């Protein structure tokens, strides 16, 4: 079976993170863009409203908390040619490749 990069490539990004509830609480205090989804207390699993941010405070149950993340992402693609070749274009200078990038604030 032949696979073709232009038609058979599928990319999935995981947007879920997880950490101890106290760590997630600290992330929220530092304004990390996240939305808690569940907390596993070891006895039960608490489900939060996924459509709005729930602030975990000192009265929140403690355990392992999963959350939706909002990160900048990048991707690397590996592909294999069906025969050796060296006719690829030269890599552009770094200044040209990064000209449109904006610094993270």
Contact 21, 29 (CB under 8 A): no
Question: What does the pLDDT read at residue 105?
Answer: 66
- pTM score, two decimals? 0.58
Identify the band that residue 61 occupies on the pLDDT scale cut at 50, 70 and 90.
confident
Rg (CA), the chain: 21
pLDDT digits (tens, 9 = 90+) for 18-52: 999 999 999 999 998 889 999 999 999 999 887 77
Give kind and range of the element (H or E) at residue 24.
Answer: helix 21-29
d(CA 61, CA 56): 8
Structure tokens belonging to residue 73: 């992402």
Q: Whose CA is closest to 3, among 69, 81, 58?
A: 81
The label of the residue with tokens 């079976």 reads: 1
Question: What does the pLDDT read at residue 3?
Answer: 66
């Amino acid at each position: 079976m032949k696979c073709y990069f232009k038609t058979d490539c599928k990319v999935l990004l995981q947007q879920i993170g997880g950490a101890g509830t106290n760590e997630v609480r600290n992330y929220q205090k530092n304004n990390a863009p996240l939305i808690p989804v569940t907390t596993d207390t070891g006895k039960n699993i608490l489900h939060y409203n996924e459509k709005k941010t729930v602030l975990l405070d000192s009265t929140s149950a403690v355990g392992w908390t999963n959350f939706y993340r909002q990160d900048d992402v990048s991707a690397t693609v590996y592909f294999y040619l069906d025969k050796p070749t060296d006719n690829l274009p030269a890599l552009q200078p770094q200044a040209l490749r990064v000209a449109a990038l904006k610094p993270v604030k």
